[in-house]
Structure 1
Amino acid sequence: MNLINFFQQTIEYFLIMLGIAILIPAFFAWLISYLINRAGSEIISRFGTGFYLFISSIGVIVHELSHLLLALFFGHHIENFHLLQVPKNGQVGFVTHSSNPKNLWQAFGNLLIGFAPMIGNSLAIYYLTLWLQPEIFSFRVTFNWSLLVWFLISFSLALGIGLSHEDFQNSLQGLWPALLILLILAFLFEIINKISINQLLSFSEKETTLFGLALIIALIELIIAKIISAI
C-alpha cells in the first residue's frame, strides 16, 4: 500500500469513528434532550415536581448511575453523588467528580461521561424491550400486562435520557483529547488491519438504531405529556 492510500484509509477510519464517538451521539443527545426536557416541563407544570420525580425515578437513577460507572471506569475521583434526591436547585440527582487534566485517558473520559445517560438509559430501554416486548422491533404489539410494565418503565427510563446543560459542558472538556485519541486509533487500525471499515459502519448502524429507538420513545413521551397536561 502506498503512502497516499495509507493516509486516505486512515482519514476514512478517523471520520467513521468521529461519527460513532461524537457526531451521532451529539446529534441524538441534543434532539432527545430537547424533547425530554419539553415533556418534563409539561408534566411538572401540570402535576408538580413530586409527581415528576415519582414517575422519572427509575430513569434518574440509571442516568446518574451511568455517569458514576463511566467516571469510575476512566479513573476519575468521585467527590459526591446522589442517584435520586428531593429536587434541590433543580437537581433530582447528581455525580460530582474530578480528573487530572494532564491525564489523556481521564480527560478523554469527560466526553463519554457527559454522554453516559444516552448510552445507559438507551441500553436499558433496549434490553427491557427485548425482555418484555421483543415484537416491537418488528412493529407489532401484544396487548397484555407486560406491555403496560414495559411502557411504564420505558417512560421513566426515557425521562432520564435527557442531558443537562452541565452534562454537555462536561462533554466539551473531553472533545480535544477525544479527537487526538481517535486519530491515534485510526492510525493503529490502518496499521494492524484487524478492524475493517465495514465493521465500524455496521457498529454505527446499530448505534443509530439504538438511539433511534430512544428518540421515538422521547417523541411519544412529549406527545403524551402534552395530552395529559391539556386534560
Structure 2
Amino acid sequence: MVTDLPLIFKNLGIAGLDLVAIPFFLIAVLTYLNRNTKQHLAGGFGMISQLYLGFIGIFLHELSHLLTAIFFGHRIVAFRLLKRPHPDQPGVTGDSDMTLGYVNHTWNRRNWYQTMGNLFIGIAPIFGCALALFGLTALLLPGVCHGLLTLMADPFNLDWSGFGQPVGANWWRWLLMIVLSLNISIGGFDLSNADFANSKIGVISFIMAVTAVTVLLTMANAATGYLRAITALAIWLVLMLGYALVISLLTNLVVRLILRR
C-alpha cells in the first residue's frame, strides 16, 4: 500500500480538475450563453422560435434526462421529449406553461446510488448533446474524429498530428455539421434552474465517491489507468464542448446583430 501523501493529493487534484472543475466550468459558460440566446430569440421572435431553431437539441436534452434517470433507478412519473409552449395555460407548477419538454421523476432519498444519480440526471443533457456532436463528427467529418481519438489515446502526451488532414472534407459536410450543431447547441446545452437544483442534491455524494476511488487506487498503486481514462474524458469534453461553445457564441452574436436591425 502506498501512503505517499503528496502523490495522493496530486492525484486528487488531477481527478478534481478532470471530473469536477473542467466539466462544471464548461457547463456554466454554455448554459449562460445559450440561455441568453434563447432570451433574445423569445423577446425578438416569440417563444416558439426556440422550438424551431433548437428542436433537435431540446429532444436530446430531455432524452438525456430520461435515460439517465432510468439508469439510476428513478421512477418516471411523466415525460414529454418535445412540446409546444402554451403561455396562456397553467403548467405543472401553476405558472404559465413555457416548457419545451420535461421529465418528472422521483427517487428514494435513503438510497445513496439514486441520490448521487441526481447530479448526473441534472447535467445529462451536456453529455448527451456532446455525444450527439461526436457522432455527427464521426459521420460527417471522420478526419476530425480521427484526430480527436488520436489525442485521447495518450492524454498525457498530446499528439495533434491527427488533425492535419480534416479541413479537406466536402463543403456540404461542414455546412451540415454547422447547421445541426447550431440546432443542438441552441436547444440542448441550456441547463434550467431545475436542472442545477437537481444536480446539487448529488454533488456531495459524487465528490465523496471520486475522493474515495482516487485515494484507494493511489494507495493500491493502481491509479495510472484510472487517471489516464478520466484525463482522456476531460480532453474529449474540452474539445466537444469547446466546439459547442464556439457555435453558441457565434449564434448569440448573430441573433444580437439581427435584432439590432
For normalisation by structure 1, the TM-score amounts to 0.88
- Displacement of 1:225 in angstroms is 1.5
Q: Which residue of 2 aligns with 1:163?
A: 191
Deviates more, 1:202-211 or 1:116-125: 202-211
Q: Which residue of 2 aligns with 1:96?
A: 104
| 1:118-159 alpha-carbon deviations (Å, 9 max, x no partner) | 111122112212322356674837563333322221111001
Q: Are 1:182 and 2:210 an aligned pair?
A: yes
- Displacement of 1:188 in angstroms is 3.0
Deviates more, 1:154-163 or 1:181-190: 181-190
Q: Are 1:225 and 2:243 an aligned pair?
A: no
Q: Take 2:239 and 2:47, find their aligned partners in 1: how far apart are those partners?
A: 32
2:23–2:234 CA contact under 8 A, matched in 1: no
Q: Take 1:133 and 1:229, find their aligned partners in 2: how far apart are those partners?
A: 33
Q: Which residue of 2 aligns with 1:53?
A: 51
Q: Take 1:120 and 1:2, find their aligned partners in 2: how far apart are those partners?
A: 37
Q: Which residue of 2 aligns with 1:124?
A: 132
Q: Which residue of 1 aligns with 2:155?
A: none
Q: How many residues align?
A: 229
Q: Are 1:153 and 2:180 an aligned pair?
A: yes
Q: Take 1:61 and 1:134, find their aligned partners in 2: how far apart are those partners?
A: 25
Task: Give the one of 156, 171, 194 matched to 1:144.
Answer: 171
Task: Give the one of 25, 28, 33 matched to 1:27.
Answer: 25
- Displacement of 1:170 in angstroms is 0.7
In the superposition, relative to structure 1, how do residues 76 and 149 fare at CA in structure 2: closer, same or farther (>3 Å)? Answer: same
Q: Take 1:141 and 1:113, find their aligned partners in 2: how far apart are those partners?
A: 38
Runs (5+) with no aligned partner, structure 2: 87-96, 148-162
RMSD between aligned residues: 2.2
Aligned-residue sequence identity (percent) comes to: 30
Q: Take 2:174 and 2:231, find their aligned partners in 1: how far apart are those partners?
A: 33
Q: Take 2:75 and 2:10, find their aligned partners in 1: how far apart are those partners?
A: 35
| 1:75-118 alpha-carbon deviations (Å, 9 max, x no partner) | 11111111011114321011111111221111111111111111
For normalisation by structure 2, the TM-score amounts to 0.79
Q: Take 2:108 and 2:9, find their aligned partners in 1: how far apart are those partners?
A: 30
Q: Which residue of 1 aligns with 2:141?
A: 133
Q: Take 2:231 and 2:54, find their aligned partners in 1: how far apart are those partners?
A: 34
Moved >6 Å (runs of 4+): none
In the superposition, relative to structure 1, how do residues 201 and 142 fare at CA in structure 2: closer, same or farther (>3 Å)? Answer: closer
- Displacement of 1:65 in angstroms is 0.5
Q: Are 1:214 and 2:212 an aligned pair?
A: no
| 1:16-46 alpha-carbon deviations (Å, 9 max, x no partner) | 2222332222111111111101111222222
1:110–1:171 CA contact under 8 A, matched in 2: yes
Task: Give the one of 44, 69, 72 matched to 2:70.
Answer: 72
- Displacement of 1:73 in angstroms is 0.9
